[in-house]
């Protein structure tokens, strides 16, 4: 490495997962062309990497907030491009980041031009999910199997149920950093093939548990969900009291996959599907967008979630390039249904070029991966830059929506969100 070349991460090399860093290089030659690289290993030991070519200015400096990548994993001015373009060594891998106490470690380096160019400088970016003072407590009580995150301070704080399809602490922990008491639970705590039916009562237990927490000040609970978690969240809103604000991200308007029971009776049948409508691609990943039946068809009417019964507020979020299923179509149908019933308790947003996996910002973009509910890789959709921009925008919208509809009365609160 060159002692003259300096590689900096500003404002600091240690940050929270959803915080940007400014990457700056100094001390290279005037107008020198260099290759920037990043590597990171996920929780399953899969190595991800990215690279981009930059040209220094007259002073021998490069600023990723200002300067465009000329070629590589991305092109143009992309301040966080080295992180979101991290790609796995083998196809169809999703960057697995689910544990709140383990930071993502990213090695960022600058090299002489070319793939085998000499390394000139290197720095480590530690990206933490959990902020100082936030508590993490595993919960195993009754039918609840999850993790509770509580912000520092006396509160009271608004309460949120993070309903993951499969267990992940990432989004819940990041929301707790923002001033929410968040319980993360999974729809599937066992292999999906071992589960024959779902019980809404189990998720109601989670709602009730949250409302009993001493630092919770909201009168009701918010629910954040994506994919299969979305239709469970809709059912909570329709059938369970105390659910005040629902964030539905790229879900379905009908109960998908398994019959849903509540109070010892079936309340929703499962939406039918046809694997014959699967589309195989040359990459080895399939498009499953069209395998689900029409929720409005007569044979599926028992699966449609009656959201018109809900008293809470909805934030519907759909990606126009979702290749998992027709989330935009489901959202449009729900909006029209609520309007038909004289309801205005909803907001909706569509990101036309985003794909299915909308997550908190700055994680690696995932074009394809093995599906959790079917044993082969699928395409998730999304144009990378547009998808990353959507994640950044949505992360702010989620926080604003939950604060707006869950925050305690200011007169009763000493906490600042």
Q: CA–CA separation, 295 vs 152, rounded Å? A: 44
Q: CA–CA separation, 259 vs 269, rounded Å? A: 5
Strands 243-249 and 260-262, bridge-based pairing: unpaired
Give span(s): CATH 2.60.40.2240, the chain.
6-128
Q: Could you list the pLDDT tens digit for every one of the 417 residues in the chain?
A: 667 999 999 999 999 999 999 999 999 999 999 999 999 999 999 999 999 999 999 999 999 999 999 999 999 999 999 999 999 999 999 999 999 999 999 999 999 997 678 999 999 999 999 999 999 999 999 999 999 999 999 999 999 999 999 999 999 999 999 999 999 999 998 777 789 999 999 999 999 999 999 999 978 999 999 999 999 999 999 999 999 999 999 999 999 989 999 999 999 999 988 999 999 999 999 999 999 999 999 999 999 999 999 999 999 999 999 999 999 999 999 999 999 999 999 999 999 999 999 999 999 999 999 998 888 999 999 999 999 999 999 999 999 999 999 976 655 444 444
Q: CA–CA separation, 258 vs 119, rounded Å? A: 53
**What six digits make up the tokens of 80?**
């966080």
Asked if 227 is an active-site residue, the reply is: yes
Task: Give Dmax over CA atoms of the chain in angstroms.
Answer: 73
Q: In whole angstroms, how far apart are CA 349 and each of 316, 330, 354?
A: 6, 13, 12
Active-site residue among 50, 227, 253, 286?
227
Active-site residue among 356, 368, 387, 407?
356
Cα–Cα nearest to 399, from 364, 363, 361, 365: 361
Running DSSP on this structure, what letter comes out for residue 32? -
Q: Which CATH architecture has domain 6-128?
A: Sandwich (2.60)
Asked if 225 is an active-site residue, the reply is: no
Cα–Cα nearest to 252, from 333, 348, 312: 333
Give residue 2's pLDDT.
60
Q: Which top CATH class is 135-412? A: alpha beta
Dihedral sign, Cα of residue 89, residue 93, residue 95, residue 100: negative
Helix (H, G, I), strand (E, B) or coil at 361: coil
Cα–Cα nearest to 207, from 144, 254, 150: 144
Active-site residue among 109, 322, 368, 407?
322
Cα–Cα nearest to 378, from 44, 46, 92: 92
279 C-beta neighbours (distance < 10 Å), count: 12
Give span(s): CATH 3.40.50.1820, the chain.
135-412
Asked if 322 is an active-site residue, the reply is: yes
């Amino acid at each position: 490495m060159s002692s003259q070349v300096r590689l900096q991460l500003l404002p600091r090399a240690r940050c929270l997962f959803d915080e940007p860093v400014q990457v700056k290089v100094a001390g290279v030659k005037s107008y020198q062309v260099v290759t920037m690289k990043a590597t990171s290993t996920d929780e399953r030991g899969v190595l991800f990497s990215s690279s981009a070519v930059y040209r220094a200015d007259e002073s021998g400096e490069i600023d990723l907030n200002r300067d465009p990548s000329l070629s590589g994993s991305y092109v143009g001015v992309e301040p966080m491009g080295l992180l979101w373009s991290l790609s796995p060594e083998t196809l169809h891998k999703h960057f697995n980041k689910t544990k709140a106490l383990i930071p993502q470690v990213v090695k960022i380096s600058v090299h002489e031009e070319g793939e085998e160019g000499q390394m000139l400088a290197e720095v480590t970016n530690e990206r933490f999910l959990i902020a100082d003072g936030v508590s993490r407590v595993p919960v195993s009580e009754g039918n609840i199997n999850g993790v509770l995150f509580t912000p520092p301070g006396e509160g009271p704080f608004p309460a949120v149920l993070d309903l993951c399809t499969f267990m992940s602490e990432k989004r819940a922990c990041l929301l707790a950093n923002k001033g929410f008491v968040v319980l993360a639970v999974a729809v599937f705590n066992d292999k999906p093939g071992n589960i024959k039916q779902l019980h809404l009562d189990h998720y109601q237990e989670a709602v009730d548990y949250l409302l009993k927490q001493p630092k919770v000040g909201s009168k009701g609970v918010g629910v954040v969900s994506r994919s299969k978690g979305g239709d469970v969240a809709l059912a909570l809103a329709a059938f369970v009291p105390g659910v005040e604000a629902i964030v539905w991200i790229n879900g379905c308007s009908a109960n998908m996959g398994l019959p849903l029971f509540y109070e010892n009776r079936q309340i929703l049948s499962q939406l039918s599907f046809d694997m014959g409508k699967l589309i195989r691609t040359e990459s080895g990943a399939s498009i499953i967008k069209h395998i689900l039946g029409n929720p409005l068809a007569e044979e599926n009417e028992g699966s449609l979630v009656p959201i018109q019964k809900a008293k809470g507020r909805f934030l519907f979020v759909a990606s126009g390039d979702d290749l998992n299923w027709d989330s935009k179509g489901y959202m449009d149908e729900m909006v029209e249904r609520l309007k038909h019933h004289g309801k205005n308790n909803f907001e909706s947003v569509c990101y036309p070029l985003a794909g299915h996996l909308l997550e908190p910002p700055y994680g690696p973009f995932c074009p394809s991966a093995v599906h959790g509910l079917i044993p082969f890789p699928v395409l998730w959709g999304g144009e990378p830059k547009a998808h990353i921009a959507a994640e950044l925008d949505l992360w702010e919208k989620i926080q604003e929506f939950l604060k707006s509809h869950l925050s305690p009365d200011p007169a009763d609160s000493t906490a600042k969100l």
